[in-house]
Homo-oligomer: A and B are copies of this chain.
Amino acid sequence: MNEVTIKDIAEALKISPSTVSRALSDHPDISESTKKRVINKASSLNYNPNIVAQSLKSNKTKLIGVIVPEIEHSFFASAISGIEEVAYRSGYIIVVCSSEESYDREVVNTNALVSNRAAGLIVSISQTTTNSDHLKAVMKRNIPLVLFDRVIEDLNTSKVIIDDKNSAFNAVNYLIGKGYKDIAHLAGKQEVNICRLRFEGYCKALQDNNIPINENYIFYGGLHEQDGYNSIEQMIKQKNIPEAIFAVNDPVAIGAFKRLREEGFSIPEQIAIVGFSNNPIAEIIEPKLTTVNQPAYEMGRKAAELIINQIKSGESPPKFMTEILDTELIVRESA
């Protein structure tokens, strides 16, 4: 099929191509009635602007690149959905890449998005990312960059986060208020800032309540269900069972649930569990999981708003913003 061009529309309406072009880009010099005629004709001819050519001319696309550690993880699926919604409303489309928790793959993704001239990048870093050169290179090219959830703290760019330390503090403080003293923590890798902050919140709650921190109650692992399962395995082998568990996130809490249930523990009677993130599963598991609600969809929306504002403003250097979204401890049945 031959492409319909601006020239075709111009000929059909007997006006100049430049008038058509300006009408389509909503130029103030063109009357509303002409704009309407042009848009109707463009629509009836099935005109489809070659955005690739426009992108080359303006060196800007309508693509927003998104890199997440995992697409299937319900927190990230929800955040992507929020990003997509705001992008859609603003005429952008999103390119979604998964780092699969690999630093190398995150670098490849970043380069692919830059090569495809993404107008901006929204990134949540992988568990194995400790170097930020790839992101600094993006910023050097004046490509807007927004980090969300898992961020690199000392990278001076816009961020959408929650107060991980304080949220963890509140969760553990709640357990202490309920009378629990032997509280274990299923912690994540301490190189990942959110894991370190949640660990710090756990420690602070114990310290503020004069409960000594017991190294034997801290189990380091990843952020997945299997990690929670494995930590409980280890706990059982060590015959080192606490009264309560604070898990770094819900998948880890669910893994702990599974292993504890296999072992015949009743929750919360014999052992209480508190998670972090409020995945949909938290409400369905029996007993329902007490957890910190992390507004995934809203974090995605906010990240998209920041990047679109930054793309549109074209400021160099841009104003960097850090948005801290509210969390809430959702008390259910597991603690």
* Residue positions of A touching B, CB distance < 8 A: 1, 46, 48-53, 55-56, 59, 61-63, 70-72, 74, 77-78, 80-81, 84-85, 88, 93-98, 100, 105, 108-109, 111-117, 137, 140-142, 254, 258, 280-281, 284-286, 297
Given the interface contacts A80-B71, A137-B46, does A51 sit within 8 Å of B116 by beta carbon? yes
Across the A-B interface, give the 6 residue pairs with the lowest CB-CB distance, nearest first: A77-B77, A286-B286, A71-B81, A96-B96, A51-B115, A72-B81
A127–chain B nearest beta-carbon distance, Å: 17
B81 A98 Cβ-Cβ under 8 A: yes
**Chain B residues near A116 (CB-CB < 8 A):** 51-52, 61-63, 93
Which of A52, A77, A137 counts the most B-chain CB atoms under 10 A from its CB? A52
Minimum C-beta distance from A140 to chain B (A): 5
CB closest chain-B residue, reference A115? B51
Give the distance to chain B from A50, nearest Cβ to Cβ, in Å. Answer: 7
Asked if residues A84 and B55 are in contact (CB atoms below 8 Å), the reply is no
B residues near A113, Cβ cutoff 8 Å: 93
Report the bound CA distance from A96 to B83 in whole Å.
11
Report B-chain residues with C-beta under 8 Å of the C-beta of A80.
71, 96
B117 touches A51 (CB 8 A): yes
Tell me the complex Cα distance, A46–B55, Å.
22
Cβ contact of A81, chosen from B63, B70, B115, B254, cutoff 8 A? B70
Bound CA–CA A164/B88 (angstroms): 32
Instruction: Write the nearest CB–CB distance from A267 to chain B, whole angstroms.
Output: 12
Residues of B within 8 Å of A95, CB to CB, are 63, 93-96
Output the least CB separation between A171 and chain B (Å): 21
Also in contact, A49 and B137, with CB within 8 A (given A81-B72, A281-B281): no
Alpha-carbon distance between A88 and B157 when the two chains are bound, in angstroms: 27
